[in-house]
Structure 1
Amino acid sequence: MIDETALLAALNSTPVREGRPRDLWADDAALRQWAHEHGGRGDARALDWLRAARDALQTATRDAVPEPELRRLLAEVRQLPEVDGAELRWRLTAPPERLLAVELVLAWYDVQQRRPGRLRPCGNDECRLFLLDHSRANTARWCSMKTCGNRLKARRHQERARQSPTP
């Protein structure tokens, strides 16, 4: 199953490095490794579904939920209850090539439900990463204070210094 850490890793697989957007999942071997680490398949169709799920969830986190894409991903998906003594489990059934992509979508919806408003894009417009705010006040703005937060604060300081009249 996909947890919050794996969800963030998927969402953050299109970083900007040295001013250029990159897609870490463009490399089949890297995505295949991520899929295997999370119990998924590594065949070409499964990788395509994972990329589609990631792209749809990035859009949904930045803007409006892309319903047609998510409906296509979730077609033929079922969750069936299984009772074992006092324990109730839900078994997910989906076409095998879509199973991990579906788990990714379900993890995103779970975060949206349990932590509304806490999963969001970095406040740095030049960054394409996302953050899951664990702070009590829900005020985190950057994916990383060390990189984006410090950069933006330094930039604002320099702008103020330039605008201040010199004695």
Structure 2
Amino acid sequence: MHRDEELLLAVLNSAPVSAGRLIDCLDGTSGRELAQSWGGTGTADESAQLRRARDALQSVIRGAEPPDIDGLTVIDGLTVIVDDAVRTPRVTRDGVVWDLQAPDDDRLAVDVVLAWSSVVAEFPGRLRACANDECNLFLVDHSRPGTAKWCSMATCGNRMKARAHASRSSG
């Protein structure tokens, strides 16, 4: 897994469901720690921007676009996140490197949107939500046939297979 994919999944999966309740890991200390672990500022403004990016990207990936987030369509919301960002090329001995310039509290959210774009370009159709309706996690399917359904076979996969078996057995 490369950095873009890791960053994208870290942010997309920052709202897991535990004991039937959605937990927002971008709140408080956990949000600050997540942001700082990716080079962010850890401020409340940065967490709010990451939350906007996460919520918009989750909607786009699920294909269940709500009418708006913060008064904007999901795509317009993503556009606002990247609007003030500029990538400039810098030539090095190893090739061209693109430097990102964005306001400090927006940079990590911009990185997440750019990571999403990179992942969907590199792995078309492979970024998806877990098939377990009670789960709120996402995965990038690296399986050869491209048929992975669950964020984790050990948790969601086994649960879903057990439910399917139970419903076949009781019917």
* TM-score, with structure 1 as normaliser: 0.90
Which letter maps to 2:31?
Answer: L
CA contact (8 A) 1:80 1:90 kept: yes
Which letter maps to 1:14?
Answer: A
Q: State the alpha-carbon separation in 1 of the partners of residues 5 and 135 from structure 2.
A: 20
Which letter maps to 1:21?
Answer: L
Q: State the alpha-carbon separation in 1 of the partners of residues 92 and 166 from structure 2.
A: 63
Q: State the alpha-carbon separation in 2 of the partners of residues 86 and 124 from structure 1.
A: 43
SS of 2:14's partner is: coil
Residue 118 (structure 1) aligned with residue 126 (structure 2): yes
SS of 2:147's partner is: coil
CA RMSD of aligned residues (A): 1.7
Whichever of the two has the greater Rg, that structure is: 1
Q: State the alpha-carbon separation in 1 of the partners of residues 92 and 19 from structure 2.
A: 53
CA contact (8 A) 1:82 1:89 kept: yes
Q: CA deviation at 1:79?
A: 0.9
Unaligned runs of 5+ in 1: none
CA contact (8 A) 1:53 1:105 kept: yes
Aligned match of 1:103: 111
Aligned match of 2:37: 37
Would you say how many aligned residue pairs link Structure 1 and Structure 2? 162
User: Of the candidates 139, 157, 166, which is equivalent to residue 158 of structure 1?
Assistant: 166
Q: State the alpha-carbon separation in 1 of the partners of residues 61 and 162 from structure 2.
A: 27
* CA displacement, residues 7-27 of structure 1 (integer Å, 9 cap, x when unaligned): 11211111111112221212x
Aligned counterparts, 1:30-109, within 5 A: 30-63=30-63, 64=65, 66-85=74-93, 87-109=95-117
